[in-house]
């Protein structure tokens, strides 16, 4: 049975809910979920496998899941500062970051704004420019409404915070963040010094060409393309039970990257 510790930390005006899975020593991995999601909906099946080999810290973003909200928009930059604040509260001087979808945009901003905290970065199923996403994504964002929010995400939120008003507030703030999405300057991406693993599915919301562009922009990067849609490789909330073993496969691939000290092709 995996050891799990739960807690709350008051950071930057909000009460952040976090979980720590596993008790291994060494550099922990921090998991940052996607927009509209929770720890459970994105990482519920992945965490037990990661916790076998390392300490995994997962948190709910501002206004998501069990974390409280503040009277201001949700931004990638503020969420990055929240992550940094939580790590300071937990006395973690350096961590590996795994960000999925919007969580990858948060993780990138942690690497930009708090580079000393990030040992390695996993940038999963995300993009740094509007042109980097499939055009259909922006069409969906333009039509975003609580009525057509995926039921699996609604259920995951209400399971931990049974308040439809808070659910709608979270949805509307997430939609506003994406409607106002601004391209990340290339200089910020080129300035990331943490070794980076870019993960995308071959049927993801990210254009494969953009992932290849990112491979060339990040100074020290590898690219992993999986036969997957958006989040299938995490076996997350949208994934059918038959894909449950995908989480174990992904955890093994992540561990290989995180434990590899020869990212530039040196050695074997």
Residue 179 has pLDDT above 60, yes or no: yes
- Per-residue confidence band for 9, with pLDDT thresholds at 50, 70 and 90: very high
Closest alpha carbon to 56 in 90, 31, 81, 25: 31
CB 199 within 8 A of CB 124: yes
Read off φ and ψ for residue 31, nearest 5 degrees.
-105, 125
pLDDT recorded at residue 23? 82
Residue 238 has pLDDT above 80, yes or no: no
Average pLDDT over every residue of 63-88: 98
Strands 56-59 and 14-21: antiparallel
Residue 178 has pLDDT above 70, yes or no: yes
CB 150 within 8 A of CB 238: yes
- Per-residue confidence band for 5, with pLDDT thresholds at 50, 70 and 90: very high
Average pLDDT over every residue of 136-165: 95
Using a pLDDT cut of 90, give the percent of the chain over it.
90
Digit-coded pLDDT (tens) for 239-260? 666 566 899 999 999 999 999 8
Average pLDDT over every residue of 208-227: 98
Average pLDDT over every residue of 121-131: 98
Digit-coded pLDDT (tens) for 30-40? 999 999 999 99
Average pLDDT over every residue of 96-100: 98
Average pLDDT over every residue of 205-232: 97
pLDDT recorded at residue 102? 98
DSSP classification of residue 184: P
Using a pLDDT cut of 70, give the percent of the chain over it.
94
CB 170 within 8 A of CB 69: yes
- Per-residue confidence band for 263, with pLDDT thresholds at 50, 70 and 90: very low
**Mean pLDDT of the chain, nearest integer:** 94
- Per-residue confidence band for 265, with pLDDT thresholds at 50, 70 and 90: very low
CATH code linked to domain 4-259 = 3.40.50.1820
pLDDT recorded at residue 266? 39
CB 125 within 8 A of CB 236: no
């Amino acid at each position: 049975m995996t050891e799990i510790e739960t807690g709350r930390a008051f950071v930057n005006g909000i009460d952040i809910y976090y979980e720590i899975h596993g008790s291994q020593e060494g550099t922990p991995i921090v998991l940052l979920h996607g927009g509209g999601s929770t720890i459970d909906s994105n990482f519920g099946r992945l965490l037990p496998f990661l916790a076998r080999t390392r300490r995994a810290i997962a948190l709910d973003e501002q206004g998501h899941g069990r974390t409280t909200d503040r009277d201001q928009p949700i931004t990638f930059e503020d969420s990055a500062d929240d992550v940094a604040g939580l790590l300071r509260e937990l006395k973690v001087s350096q961590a590996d970051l795994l960000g999925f979808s919007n969580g990858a945009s948060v993780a990138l901003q942690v690497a930009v704004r708090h580079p000393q905290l990030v040992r390695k970065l996993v940038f999963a199923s995300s993009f740094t420019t509007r042109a980097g996403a499939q055009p259909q994504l922006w069409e969906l964002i333009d039509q975003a409404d609580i009525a057509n929010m995926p039921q699996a995400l609604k259920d995951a939120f209400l399971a931990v915070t049974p308040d439809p008003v808070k659910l709608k507030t979270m949805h509307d703030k997430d939609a506003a963040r994406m409607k106002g999405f601004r391209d990340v300057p290339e200089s910020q991406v080129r300035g990331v010094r943490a070794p980076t693993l870019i993960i995308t599915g071959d049927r993801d919301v990210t254009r494969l060409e953009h992932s290849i562009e990112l491979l060339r922009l990040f100074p020290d990067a590898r690219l992993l393309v999986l036969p997957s849609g958006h989040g299938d490789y995490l076996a997350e909330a949208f994934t059918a039970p038959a894909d449950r073993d995908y989480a174990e496969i992904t955890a093994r691939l992540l561990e290989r990257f995180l434990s590899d000290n020869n990212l530039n092709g040196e050695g074997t």
